[in-house]
Structure 1
Amino acid sequence: MMQASLSLALREIVRFLRQKNRVIGALATPVLFWFLLGSGVGRSLVTPGFRGRLDYLTYFFPGIILLIVLFTAIFSTVSIIEDRREGFLQGVLVAPAGRSAILFGKIMGGTLLAVFQALVVMLLAPYSDHHPDARVLFHLIAMTSLLAVALTALGFLIAWPMDSTQGFHALINLFFVPLWFLSGALFPAGGAAEWVRTLMRFNPLSYGHEALQGLLATKQGQPLPIDLSQDYSIICATTLLLVMACAVQVSRRS
């Protein structure tokens, strides 16, 4: 099964690299969004939990990393519907490797693509006043990988029973856009209404964004400004639940 999963993951990566427009769009869109929105909102932002005022380009940068992971999850799982339409999925389903190979192959491919794109965009970190060292970079890759697995699994969960890409995008917007908006990517929880803060507390992506923001705010050679244990625990639990839900869904015969 592992060999089949690796082959399917490699297929996702090759498919991505062969679609030049997709490569450009996947990398340029979040960066453009970060620059235009970050410059347009204002030069500074009062952010609870941080000292003084914070440039919005600096605040918004972790949210863009999260957005890249989210975009990758969408585009890597919509291929399930395309594979079913082209007959490729049916061929894999009857192969000896079984259905689990599809699940792990898709998740592995989506995760690798998300981490790669996030690392490319992280090269812009110094321009947003972030200077991660090797220790911070390790945690950034670990947290980004967990978020990528979770979001790709959620995309897989939505895409698996669907036969229409239009329906998939409609549902994915219903799930993913609120998750991102309520993660703290666009605005800090401290300045929001009470009911919004409550929703943000129950949003697992809030803890992923909190971890990314705290890590990127760490100065070189200094201790981490936040305790990552809660963030890791919540994201790991969410990831495990979503992957298990995908495994149950894939095992059902239809």
Structure 2
Amino acid sequence: MMATDVAGVRIPLRSAGHDVRAVKVVLHREMLRFVNDRTRMLSMLVQPVLWLFVMGTGFGSLAQGAIPGIDYRTFMYPGMIAMTVIMTAMFSAGSIVWDREFGFLREMLVAPVSRGAIVVGKCLGGALVAVGQGVVILALAGAVGVPYDPLLMVTLLAEMFLAAFTITAFGVTLAARMKNMQTFFGLMQMAVMPMMFLSGAMFPLGNLPSWLHVLTTVNPLTYAVDPMRQAVFSRLDVPPEVDATLNPGVSWFGWQVPVPLELGLVALIGAVLLGVAVAQFRRSD
């Protein structure tokens, strides 16, 4: 008998080019998944719209005499942008658990690419999906008295992306070791909802009790919501006393934290969480 030739199998070496392509593939998959899931898109938009127009109108009727010259829904508008972006980003991160249950995650992890590239692609995809949802809320600006100023819209988009990337990295870190969706969403509700309520999205940060002021100050989401509100109020013509009440900013021991420092803190937290998420994936099987 003649010996048959056996074809060799060559596994391509990992390289920066492979990692970039992996980031693009994961990002593209996230976008396709989101576009094809119409129910998810609608559900993520209904909640903030209800909060903005129903709760905002109700709260505004109570505070109408205390804040003359401005609609309370205008105050809540930046918070609702943040809520939309944050919830969408967390749901995007949670799809990792779904991929693990159906075996797709294992296929990605054995590919000849860096696991860090997979995490970066996931975070970028989740951030872009969240910003896409946020654009719909941006389109409602005129309905709540926020001007369609081009510079304001660009500023809000950039701040939305930064917040969405950080929250997606946080969600990926949580989801990296979880085995089922119920556990992830339970933990997500326990972690994100208190942070959302303590971020100043629905009530002003000024004149709070000392214990509540401390909680808002140590809450990372506060530093994502406040720059959006600062950007919006910088384009509004409101009385100084109303601006001081609704837009006091974040203070540390009486010193008001500047917006660039707030954004820097969000970016730093996002970078740290991204590193933790990559380390989690490198240890996962």
TM-score, normalisation: structure 2: 0.81
In the TM superposition, what whole-angstrom CA distance separates every residue of 1:31-86 from its partner, at most 9, and x where no partner exists? 1221111112233648x9xx856422111111111111111122101110110111
- Partner residue in 2 for 1:15: 33
Amino acid at match of 1:18: N
Is 1:230 the equivalent of 2:248? no
Q: Provide the rounded CA distance (Å) in 2 between the counterparts of 1:190 and 1:217.
A: 15
Task: Please list, as runs of the form range in 1=range in 2, the aligned pairs for 1:232-247 lying within 5 A after superposition.
Answer: 232-247=263-278
Amino acid at match of 1:136: L
What SS is found at the alignment partner of 2:54?
helix
Amino acid at match of 1:251: R
In the TM superposition, what whole-angstrom CA distance separates every residue of 1:179-231 from its partner, at most 9, and x where no partner exists? 111100011122432101101011121121110011112228xxxx9842122
Amino acid at match of 2:126: G
Amino acid at match of 1:17: V
Name which of structure 1's ranges 25-34 and 181-190 shifts more when overlaid on structure 2: 25-34
Is the CA contact 1:12–1:106 (under 8 Å) kept in the aligned structure 2? yes
What SS is found at the alignment partner of 1:43?
helix
Is 1:71 the equivalent of 2:83? no
Which runs of 5 or more residues in structure 1 are unaligned? Answer: none
- Partner residue in 2 for 1:33: 51
Backbone CA RMSD of aligned residues: 2.1
What SS is found at the alignment partner of 1:190?
coil
Return the offset for 1:247: 1.7
Name which of structure 1's ranges 167-176 and 231-240 shifts more when overlaid on structure 2: 231-240
TM-score, normalisation: structure 1: 0.91
Q: Provide the rounded CA distance (Å) in 2 between the counterparts of 1:96 and 1:128.
A: 50
- Partner residue in 1 for 2:3: none
Is the CA contact 2:152–2:232 (under 8 Å) kept in the aligned structure 1? yes
In the TM superposition, what whole-angstrom CA distance separates every residue of 1:130-185 from its partner, at most 9, and x where no partner exists? 11422222221111111001100010011110001111111111110111111000
Q: Provide the rounded CA distance (Å) in 2 between the counterparts of 1:76 and 1:242.
A: 16
In structure 2, which of residues 84, 94, 99 is the aligned counterpart of residue 83 of structure 1? 99
- Partner residue in 2 for 1:183: 199
Which runs of 5 or more residues in structure 2 are unaligned? Answer: 1-18, 237-246, 250-257
- Partner residue in 1 for 2:142: 126
Q: Provide the rounded CA distance (Å) in 1 between the counterparts of 2:143 and 2:57.
A: 13
